[in-house]
Structure 1
Amino acid sequence: MTGTEPAFEIDGRRYTAGDRVRFPRAATRKDRDRVYEITAAGVDGITAEVDGCTYQLSRSDIGVIGIEHADQK
């Protein structure tokens, strides 16, 4: 990681395309347990994919559902 690629930063953590993440406060257990891959990241939010579906999540969306790298527990 060079630090120059587009990134989304929140709570002192940085997320870029290719990162695998979870959303710990998502509405359903299934959505909390899934591992999503970030396909695009920017100041205002991310685009993430899982099981052939693409989700565009804003900074406020992520504020509600949370975000963490998939290897965190």
Structure 2
Amino acid sequence: MDRSQQFMVATHTILDGGAPQTTQHVLRYAFPQGVDLVAELAGLRLVERTAGWRKERFTALGPRHVSLFERAE
């Protein structure tokens, strides 16, 4: 994990009875404020933000969010 660049490398190994298959993925994480800024620059506005797909209440301390945007008019 590189906090200054906001990315991490994840390694996944698939065990399905055959030879193990390992892959690596570079993931960039973004905090809600960063997502909001990128959306605004793309001409979108925030409609709703929840803590998950079941629409749990979002708090700033939560580890994840689902954000719904629409075109700004």
TM-score between the two structures when normalised by the length of structure 2: 0.24
Kindly indicate which of the two structures has a greater share of residues assigned to strand: 1
Identify which of structures 1 and 2 has the higher relative contact order when contacts are C-alpha pairs closer than 8 Å and 6+ apart: 1
Return the index of the structure with the highest Cα Rg. Answer: 2
